[in-house]
Amino acid sequence: MTVVRSNKQTAAATATAKAGAARWVGFDMDECLGSFMPIWPFCEVLPNEANLGPEDKRAWLRRLAETLASRRELWLFRPGLDLLLDMLRSAKERKAIAGCFILTNNGSWEIAEVVRHILNIRSGDAGLFVAAWHRYTPCRRKTGSILTKDLTTVQACLRTSGLPTLHRASDLLFYDDYADHVLADEIPHYTTVSAYTHYTPIALVYKELKPAIDRFGFPRAVVQEVLTQAEKYEDRDLKTDKTLRVYSPPASMDAAEFTEALGRFLSTPVLTAARKQPNGTATRLTRRTGTTTQGRTAKTARRRRLSKN
C-alpha cells in the first residue's frame, strides 16, 4: 500500500476543493521536515524481520507514530514545525488550502507513513496530511523517472489518489531542501529551505521506543538482531557522511523560512469563477503558468548561491 487515506479524509479534501480552494502544500521529507533514517530499523526492518502480517504491521506503525509524536527531545523533526502545523491546520479549517502531502524520493513507504501520521497527530487534524508519496508509489512510475519531482507527477499522484488536482501552478506551495527539481522552475511558490542534517543515534530512539516494542510483543532475539545490524550500518554511515551532526542541540528553533513562505502563498488570491476564461474553463495549467520572470530570476540566483556553498 502506498497511499493511506480514509474515505472521510478524501471527502473533506474534495469538499474543500468544491468550496474554491484546490490549493495544496507539499513537502519533501528527508532533511526538509526532519532527519528520519534513525527510525528506519523500527519502521521497516523490525516488522519485516518479525514477519508481521499487513494488519499487524499497520497497527505497529501507528503505535510507533503515536509514541514518537510526543518525543520532541529526539529532534527527529525540524524545530519550529509546530507553529507551521498550527498555521496549516488553521488554513485548512478556513478552506484556504485543501490540505498537505509529502512527496519524497525515500524508498521506504513505512517511514513516509509514520512521518505523515506524526504530523497529523502533532497538528491535531488527522486529515491534514492526506498522502505520503514515496519513490515507488505507483502514480510516480507512470510519469517517467521515479525520482522526478514535477507538476506532472504531483497532478498524477493527486488524481490517482482521488484528490482534487491543481488548477494553476501557483496553487501549489512546495518545500524542499533541494533546489534543482523540475518543480522549482514550474511553480512560483517552490521554497528551498536549509537542509536539516541533525542526526539522532538509533540507541536513543530505541530507548524511547523500548516500552512500546516490548508491549507489542516483538521477540527479544529479533529486536536484538535488528539493533545490532542497524548500529553497524549507522557506524558506517556516520563515518562516510560528514554532513551529519550527531545529536547536538539544534542550531535554531526558528522555522521562519517555512512560515514566511506560507504567508506569501496564502496571500495569493485563489482562482474564482470571475477569473475563469470567457468560455467558462479555468486557466490552463501549463509548464510556465504562474511563474513570473521575476520569480524565476530570483530562484535562479538563489540556486547559483546555493551551488557555491
Q: Which is nearer to Mg ion, 194 or 297 (CB)?
A: 194
Q: Which is nearer to Mg ion, 172 or 227 (CB)?
A: 172
Shortest distance in whole angstroms from residue 273 CB to Mg ion: 38
Q: Which is nearer to Mg ion, 9 or 104 (CB)?
A: 104
Shortest distance in whole angstroms from residue 247 CB to Mg ion: 20
Q: What is the DSSP letter of 273?
A: G
Binding mask 94-133 for Mg ion (x = CB under 5 A): ----------------------------------------
Footprint of Mg ion on residues 26-45 (CB under 5 A)?
28, 30-32
* Rounded Cα gap, residues 174 and 27, in angstroms: 6
- H-type alpha helices, the chain: 7-18, 40, 46-49, 54-68, 81-93, 109-123, 138-141, 151-160, 183-186, 202-216, 220-240, 256-266, 293-308
Sign of the dihedral defined by the CA atoms of residues 46, 249, 27, 190, in that order:
negative
Beta-carbon contacts of residue 286 (< 8 Å; ≥ 6 apart) = 169
> Is residue 177 near Mg ion by the rule CB under 5 A?
yes
Total residues at the site for Mg ion (CB under 5 A)? 5
Shortest distance in whole angstroms from residue 8 CB to Mg ion: 30
Q: What is the DSSP letter of 77?
A: B
Shortest distance in whole angstroms from residue 195 CB to Mg ion: 7
Pick the stretch among 22-30, 128-136, 196-204, 283-291 that binds Mg ion (CB under 5 A): 22-30
Question: Regarding beta strands 189-192 and 24-27, do their DSSP bridges make them parallel or antiparallel, or are they unpaired?
Answer: unpaired
Q: What is the DSSP letter of 41?
A: I
Shortest distance in whole angstroms from residue 73 CB to Mg ion: 23
Q: Which is nearer to Mg ion, 60 or 133 (CB)?
A: 133
Pick the stretch among 4-12, 60-68, 172-180, 292-300 that binds Mg ion (CB under 5 A): 172-180
Q: Which is nearer to Mg ion, 12 or 118 (CB)?
A: 118
Residue 193: Cβ within 10 Å count: 20
Q: Which is nearer to Mg ion, 149 or 168 (CB)?
A: 149
Half-sphere exposure (CA, 13 Å, Cβ side) for 264? 14
Number of H helices, E strands in the chain: 13, 7
Shortest distance in whole angstroms from residue 74 CB to Mg ion: 19
Question: Using CB under 5 A as the criterion, which residues of the chain lie in contact with Mg ion when the complex forms?
Answer: 28, 30-32, 177
